[in-house]
Amino acid sequence: MTEPFAPRPATASKSAPLSGTVRVPGDKSISHRALIFGGLASGETRIAGLLEGEDVLRTAAAMRAMGAALARRPDGTWQVTGTGNGCLLAPEGPLDFGNAGTGSRLVMGLAGAYAMRTTFVGDASLSRRPMGRVLDPLRAMGVQVVEAAPGDRMPITLEGPKHTAPISYRVPMASAQVKSAVLLAGLNAPGVTTVIEPVMTRDHTERMLTGFGAQLEVTRGADGARHIALEGQGRLAGRTLTVPGDPSSAAFPLVAALLVPGSRVTIENVLMNETRAGLIETLVEMGGDIAVDNRREEGGETVADLTVRGSELRGVAVPAERAPAMIDEYPVLAVAAAFAEGETRMAGLGELRVKESDRLSAVAAGLAANGVDCRSGADWLTVRGRPGGAGLGGGTVETHLDHRIAMAFLVMGLASERPVTVDDRTMIATSFPDFEPLMARLGATIAAPDGVPA
């Protein structure tokens, strides 16, 4: 199991205008999938722009443990030689996913459908997260859950049947991870596996499966739900792909530039897939000055360059239906709302409770510790802002092993009257290893609490 570590706090303080042009690392969701599909496909896959964060490297290790060959080349691209669909090998030891919910849930679907034993372990945060949402459909496909901690939590050992049953599964919560786990299990099942998705979530799995040559069809039911039908046991063929910049990472320099008066920051090559674009839509509604330039297609996805200027924001009501398109961005949106004129109301946030931390509680506690007037309920959060950040800051935020809580509150400290401290920044490396140097290049003041540059 992942070893505990010594926490490394950091403090962000009021910064002069941020300026510069940056690129954020590759999209985390696409990076996991690129390694999984590349590791499964026949032949060679070349990946440019892969996120080399800890979460993704765990997925690389898991695919290697099951027979794929993966190597980083001197030019920074990754070369993956897959096993061929249906040909994964039993790993010799447990697969340790660290902090990574996406990697672990997707690989549970993938490996769970094989007639072999696979054990999944993770860190304290991952071991608290509910896995029943993936195990339930896998059980329906004939997968045996040999071992699980109470509440279907890790450590988990799965053993697939001789012949995995293709099923039709209506996903009960808005979750791309659950959708993807069922489709990945369906890759090794004879016949058609159908996932019914009442609320559309990020569609990278569908796009990439098609790109790797899977027979996949998406239709709409009479009620508007998406029906994703996948023909199992087909051939996947290796390919070349480029991972666009992660909008969930871009969110941090983007909001920082909006909040620090006089800033002007360009973030190049950001993924603009509409299932991920909820934050930009919301910030523009709040009065954020965000120019979307140079929209172009790259590797089956739309990317663009974003130029962001310091802006006076006003509170808005964010509709619950938008939550799947910005589910990872609520911590930083809540921080933006703390500086907006009036109230920002966020609804439909139930899924935030089962992320790397209970993000709804962690955000509400972090805001309160820094003087922000906020209220929250089971699945909502309301924030009353203070334009200019007068009186804000001065608190320490508990990050609960959650990278996005750490980054969101460091952004807060750049614009609030007093500094904001986070109790640990170690986990930032799971998704955005360059966060601190990139922010420093833009002029952000983030340091260890003893004043040493972070």
- Cβ proximity to ligand S3P: between 301 and 305 the closer is 301
- Cβ proximity to ligand S3P: between 193 and 311 the closer is 193
Name the maximum alpha-carbon separation found in the chain.
64
Q: Which residue in 96, 203, 305, 328 is the catalytic one?
A: 328
* Residue number with the smallest Cβ distance to ligand S3P: 29
Least distance to ligand S3P, CB of residue 391, Å: 32
Least distance to ligand S3P, CB of residue 441, Å: 26
Contacts of 170 (CB under 8 A, 6+ apart): 196, 198, 225
Least distance to ligand S3P, CB of residue 411, Å: 18
Least distance to ligand S3P, CB of residue 119, Å: 22
Residue 443: strand, helix, or coil: coil
- Cβ proximity to ligand S3P: between 341 and 358 the closer is 358
Contacts of 13 (CB under 8 A, 6+ apart): 413, 414, 418, 419, 420, 445, 447
User: What stretches of 91-244 show up as alpha helix (H) in DSSP?
Assistant: 101-112, 124-128, 132-140, 176-186, 204-211
The answer, yes or no, to whether the previous bond of 155 is cis (omega within 30 of 0) is: yes
* 328 is a catalytic site residue: yes
Question: Among 133, 129, 177, which residue's Cα sits nearest to residue 149?
Answer: 129
Residue 221: strand, helix, or coil: coil
Q: Which DSSP state fits 88? A: P
Least distance to ligand S3P, CB of residue 385, Å: 25
Q: Are strands 95-96 and 373-376 parallel, antiparallel or unpaired?
A: unpaired
Q: Which neighbouring-strand residues pair with 194? A: 168, 229
Question: Among 53, 52, 50, 57, which residue's Cα sits nearest to residue 31?
Answer: 50
Least distance to ligand S3P, CB of residue 133, Å: 8
Please tell me the distance from the alpha carbon of residue 99 to that of residue 170, in angstroms, as a whole number.
Answer: 27
φ, ψ at 91 (rounded to 5°): -70, 150
Least distance to ligand S3P, CB of residue 327, Å: 5
Helices (H) and strands (E) in the chain, counts: 13, 24
Query: Would you tell me which residues interact with ligand S3P (CB under 6 A)?
Result: 29, 102, 175-177, 180, 202, 327-328, 351
φ, ψ at 380 (rounded to 5°): -145, 160
Residue found by looking up tokens 């966060």 in the block: 435
- Cβ proximity to ligand S3P: between 180 and 399 the closer is 180
Question: Among 334, 290, 332, which residue's Cα sits nearest to residue 316?
Answer: 334
| Residues with a known catalytic role | 328
